[in-house]
Structure 1
Amino acid sequence: MMESIRVDLSDRVRFLLRVGDTALILAQRNAEWCGHAPVLEEDLALPNLALDQLGQARALLTHAGSLTGHDEDQLAYLRDEAQFLNPVLVELPHAPDNRKPGDFGFTVLRNALLAQWFLQLYGRLESSDDAELAAIAAKAVKETRYHWQHSADWVLRLGDGTAESHRRLQAALERIWPYVPELFAGTEFEALQAPWRAAIEALLQAATLKLPKDGQHIHQGHKGVHSEHLGHLLAEMQVLQRAYPGGVW
């Protein structure tokens, strides 16, 4: 079994891993819907969103790797859970009891919140003085506009749909909201909060959803302190590379 690597975290590497890990773990979660979505269109749409997110993760991890001496595969498959810097929100399973395939409403709502977060972030990174990062952001922002449109359309459809779809989406929102403050923890991300919140509040109002009260607790996934769910997800994601080091298709 391949041993884990450890990465020295300069401020720039930490930033790149935080964004790249967020895209990578969200991609892994969205890919779980392949073959299990409630309608055929989403069997195609959610895995395609996951592929976009995976592409963004690859670019960001490759850039981080150029600063650390590791390639994208090593960073994705050979770091332990405590070395991942994604927010806890993206690692949560689709249903609170982890039943498969999960709660579709939770998935599209989480995707909407994260798509708007990525939109705000990539929009700012397009003008980064890091030319490589600016190029990554310029491509990613185009993909993420579609992610926002797709997930926001579903939030509207379910929130302002039947009594049952509204009830379930409101329950998903209550489950998600305590994890939101972590998205803006750290000075690099604080500037995203006001425009993000304005867009999300407008969406929730249009979807007839009630905004939960803000919590004070900030989860610590961005510092490597994760829920039990990330370990299970990484075990599945990393098993092939760990068992057959350097294996390629």
Structure 2
Amino acid sequence: MSDDHVYLSLAEEHEDDTRWAYGTGFEDPLHGVDTGVPDGVDRTELAALCLALGDDALVMAQRLAEWTTRAPELEEEVALANIGLDLLGQARLLYSRAGQADGTGRDEDAYAYFRDPDDFRNVTLVELPDTDFAFCVARLLVFASWRLAHFERLAASPDPVLAAVAAKGAKELAYHRQYAAEWVVRLGDGTEESHRRTRAALDAVLPHLGELAAAQDTGDDVTAVLRQVTRAAGLPLPEPVPAPAGRGRDGGHSAHLAPLLAELQGVARAHPGATW
């Protein structure tokens, strides 16, 4: 198998391999950052972007949390849980910034727990249920590659808070991408059954590249990573559907989002204002 070569190759540009989850690290990404919205930055656009990116992270984190007690090995449970914590940390910071930018002062809990599915702006890919572990890592590979390319560009944002969140998040996302790539190669280059499942997972995930590209033009970056990984895995790279496969950014979601949010929001809605 050649998964080590792919893993190391993808990691070369991110040698500062910080793998602490947002919730457990000691570095505050906003330490020393001016949190005022700079003149010339459109507050409405900034709030909408932070909200959409926060929704992507929150919903994806919830899907990853579902692997607790279900992953193939204990080590993978820990890895997926920590990846989910990274994304949850990103969501918290992005939601807080959205509340500052739009002038409402809403906090992260208001955005996460007290909005209905139609109000969410996440891409459809993150809300799809996992059919098996191959789908989990194939989806994570596509999502992390797309988000990493996006965050690398946002690190130069004129908004200092968004730039700081993106710079910190890019380090975490580089590890997410590496982790997923390693597993896609291992499964694709494994048994006949694991190869079949991984190929089916990619067939299910890749049609959503159209929506990701529509949300942010990073399609070439994602395709380059996928070609590298699938080549090492002995898998064909199916042609993605050119038209977007979802309308998540416009509030048009699959039937899978509402049940996921009901589970996520249930306690907070049953006991509004409670603290614990």
TM-score, with normalisation over the residues of structure 1? 0.90
**Is 1:176 aligned to residue 176 of structure 2?**
no
Q: In structure 1, what is the equivalent of residue 128 of structure 2?
A: 92
Note the C-alpha offset of 1:216.
3.6
- Give the letter for the 1:158 counterpart: L
- Kindly report which structure 2 residues correspond to 1:14-163, keeping only aligned pairs within 5 A, or say none: 14-68=48-102, 69=104, 70-95=106-131, 103-163=132-192
- Distance (whole Å) between structure 2 residues aligned to residue 216 and residue 121 of structure 1: 19
**Is 1:243 aligned to residue 266 of structure 2?**
no
Q: Bigger shift: 106-115 or 214-223?
A: 214-223
Q: In structure 2, what is the equivalent of residue 197 of structure 1?
A: 223
Note the C-alpha offset of 1:11.
2.1
1:214 counterpart (220, 240, 243)? 240
Instruction: Give unpaired runs (5+ residues) of structure 1.
Output: 1-8, 96-102
- Distance (whole Å) between structure 2 residues aligned to residue 246 and residue 181 of structure 1: 40
Describe the SS at the equivalent of 1:197.
Answer: helix
- Give the letter for the 1:242 counterpart: R
- Distance (whole Å) between structure 1 residues aligned to residue 207 and residue 117 of structure 2: 22
The 1:44–1:221 alpha-carbon spacing in structure 2 relative to 1, beyond 3 Å, is same
Note the C-alpha offset of 1:67.
2.0
- Distance (whole Å) between structure 2 residues aligned to residue 34 and residue 91 of structure 1: 17
Structure having the higher helix fraction is 1
- Distance (whole Å) between structure 2 residues aligned to residue 73 and residue 234 of structure 1: 13
CA-based RMSD of the aligned residues comes to 1.2
- Give the letter for the 2:69 counterpart: G
- Distance (whole Å) between structure 2 residues aligned to residue 20 and residue 196 of structure 1: 20
The 1:216–1:121 alpha-carbon spacing in structure 2 relative to 1, beyond 3 Å, is closer
Describe the SS at the equivalent of 1:209.
Answer: coil
- Give the letter for the 2:241 counterpart: G
Deviations 1:123-180 (A, max 9, x none): 1111111000011011111111111111110011001111110000001111112222
Note the C-alpha offset of 1:214.
2.4
Instruction: Give unpaired runs (5+ residues) of structure 2.
Output: 1-42
Q: In structure 2, what is the equivalent of residue 230 of structure 1?
A: 257
State the 4+ residue runs in structure 1 displaced beyond 4 angstroms: none
